[in-house]
Amino acid sequence: MKKLLVVAMLTMLVVNTFADEKKKKVSEVTYKVEMDCQSCVNKITKNIPFEKGVKDLNVDMEGQTVTVKYREDKTTKENLVKAFEKLDFKAEELKEGECSSQKKKCCSGCKN
């Protein structure tokens, strides 16, 4: 009977650890962001990484996209959009397979 209790406690511990890991999950989101020149890019790379929950940032000026890695327990996609808005950029989530901008060039990398 005691053994069963130990097993039950261990199981709970494992489940708890698992739940914590889930909370710390890092997600990735790509936004369509209109960037005209290097100073636009600089503005983003100098500010967005300091937003709460942001782990990593990748700016693609050619493709007019910004990919952000963020902690799901610290921020949301909506919060990140607001962060872009604060810098006067309109960020729109890029759905998978979708072309990122009006520029035809970018479409070479698209899946459709």
Q: Which residues bind Cu ion (CB under 5 A)?
A: 36-37, 39-40
Sign of the CA dihedral with 92 first, then 98, 102, and 105 last: positive
Q: Which lies closer to Cu ion via its Cβ, residue 39 or residue 112?
A: 39
Minimum CB distance to Cu ion smaller for 87 or for 106: 87
CA distance 85 to 31: 12
Give the sign of the dihedral formed by CA 53, CA 55, CA 76, CA 92: positive
CB of 44 to Cu ion, least distance (A): 10
User: HSE on the CB side for 19, CA within 13 Å?
Assistant: 6
Least distance to Cu ion, CB of residue 70, Å: 24
Closer by beta carbon to Cu ion, 5 or else 37: 37
* CA pair distance 51, 83, nearest whole angstrom: 7
Instruction: Supply the minimum distance, in Å, between the C-beta of residue 41 and Cu ion.
Output: 7
- CB-nearer residue toward Cu ion: 1 or 37: 37
CB of 48 to Cu ion, least distance (A): 15
